[in-house]
Structure 1
């Protein structure tokens, strides 16, 4: 295998173009399935986040007992318990958890968009700064629209994000696979 900086040479990947297309088709199909069942996709997303929080809480708890002699061990234990509680809440009440996650996502998009707008205006002496501004405006508007629709949209919005991401990744891999074949 020819490797440059730890990355396989493109000619070696070209022969695997079919695998990229197959994975792309599968991801695209999963995206369509998620789009057809947005509430279930939202619940699956909430369960996934809950599982990660439980795992994170267990890791925090193990860490807390590794630093027993440290005077701040109680803070590590409390942090672990908060992670565990949030993870368990995701499984006990996925609807409430989806509302909280949707609210956090909406706020994050709004703030992120505002920061991007600020960076764009700060970079207005550079060519192409308008693209930064446009991206920031779209992100901030998405956050604002999500906030306006909250909490009703929390039943389907996370599922829509999952469906969109799966479909776009699938589409990208299909395109990449066929481009490899034609190269």
Structure 2
């Protein structure tokens, strides 16, 4: 795949968004919700752009759909930060449920390619975030919806960096004749 830098860019952006989301619990609940909405939207937009750049990739359609879910979810979270922590938590849980299912489907779609297991792990982490949010586990300053969403974004970012590096290595390795 000649467009590995797009996967690397997506991975780096997701990692940065994840770090930002993990750091947010220090701020107020409204700020956390607003910034988390922006972070998810940015991650989704970058994912959509990346999917359009690697159309020949087997998972580009799934990637496009995951990006769209993140953009819509991020906008809804951003527009409704005052609706209460429960509503925001439930909305974040729904976004990560859909994202997790789509990432798992994407992983199996691109399974023969290097790095597909990272996508599977990212999808499972997103489902875990969804489960934790909907089970209404007690949150502390270290265990908030923003923190959990940030962890899911970090794992997703690592998955795309791994895919980029695997594809870069595959391009550089000469094929036996």
| Pairwise TM-score range, normalised by the shorter structure | 0.3 to 0.5
Q: TM-score, normalised by structure 1?
A: 0.39
